[in-house]
Chain A
């Protein structure tokens, strides 16, 4: 089963990479851009009997390793379901 984990800095936590990219886009005259936030995407292929089990297991993975929940939020998606 394919699982997509998206990890973002929490709102209110300054994203210096996003800020630098926003600055670069403005230099390229993309003035319509108001804000840029950069996150990361982790794609997992896991064995699980059903989505609920997968969801529960991946949440534990995120809390223990994949995300640092002090500063990051995560979302879990199942693209093929």
Chain B
């Protein structure tokens, strides 16, 4: 499988993301944002974490107009699989590939720590190797990760099994670090080929570094 990891000015998780997918035995190409085409044979596009364009104006507001994004949007609209992590999730909502919007954390602080998540839906490529209602423990690191969607949009998300992950405590009880609507940490689009989450599975692939729960998440993309 060929994974294209897109690098914007200010992206800082591309090497971790490359490492994680290579550890899973996949080929990874780092693709600079000024490219206009994805590498031939791309199976998965990953928009990694970071602070593209310094978070100027709004997180990911400017990245969505980078030359490569036209190709990424076309790829997604043709059914290609896209994963947005953290700043990548923000890009996907800014580019309207995913519904809703991202706001400043409710406590106005940048939060960087491991946080348990509950698997709300695994009927999709991304989380098919995770057990329903099980917990995964992976890091979050964001200042603008408060997911917002209006009531009608939220209903639609649930109706279409688009709510994938929510924040919780070690026992699986609701715990909301950033003020996200319904503690939502990750969603997908209606067609279930575009996935976004604020937490970082690529930072949790070695037990010696705290957790390898990210492995079974990213493995979902590998046939």
A13 and B108: CB pair below 8 A? no
Please give the distance in Å from A21's CB to the nearest CB on chain B: 9
Q: Are B57 and A66 in contact (CB under 8 A)?
A: yes
Instruction: For residue B60, give the distance in angstroms from its CB to the closest CB of chain A.
Output: 10
Q: B94 on the interface (CB 8 Å rule)? A: yes
Bound CA span A16–B143, Å: 12
User: B-facing mask of A11-38, CB < 8 A → 1, else 0?
Assistant: 0011011001000000000000000000
Query: What's the nearest-Cβ distance from chain A to residue B75, in Å?
Result: 21
Closest B residue to A38 by beta carbon equals B104
B148 contacts A by Cβ under 8 Å: yes
Contact A16–B179 (Cβ < 8 Å): yes
Q: Majority SS of interface residues in chain B?
A: loop
Q: Indicate which residue in B57, B65, B103, B108 contacts A71 across the interface (CB closer than 8 Å).
A: B103
**Is B106 part of the binding interface, using a Cβ–Cβ cutoff of 8 Å?**
yes
Report yes or no: B104 in contact with A70, Cβ–Cβ below 8 A.
no
What is the distance, in angstroms, from B152's C-beta to the closest C-beta of chain A?
Answer: 12
B58 at the interface (CB under 8 A from A): yes
B11: CB under 8 A from chain A? no
| Chain B hits for A16, CB < 8 A | 103-108, 146, 179
A65 within 8 A of B: yes
Contact of B148 with A65 in the complex, beta carbons under 8 Å: no
A-side contacts of B220, CB under 8 Å: none
A23-65, CB < 8 A from B: 65
What residues of B have a CB within 8 angstroms of the CB of A14 in the complex? 103, 106, 179
| Residue of B with least CB distance to A66 | B57
CB atoms of B57 and A65 under 8 A apart: yes
Answer yes or no: A68 CB below 8 A from chain B CBs. yes
List B residues 167-220 near A (Cβ within 8 Å): 179
A3 to B108, CA, bound (A): 30
A13-B148 contact in complex given A66-B57, A68-B61, C-beta closer than 8 Å:
yes
A-B contact pairs, 11 of them (CB 8 A): A13-B103, A14-B179, A16-B105, A16-B107, A16-B179, A17-B108, A20-B108, A68-B58, A68-B94, A70-B100, A71-B101
Closest 4 CB pairs of A and B: A70-B101, A71-B101, A16-B106, A20-B108
| B contact residues vs A (CB 8 Å cutoff) | 57-58, 61-62, 65, 93-94, 100-101, 103-108, 146, 148, 179
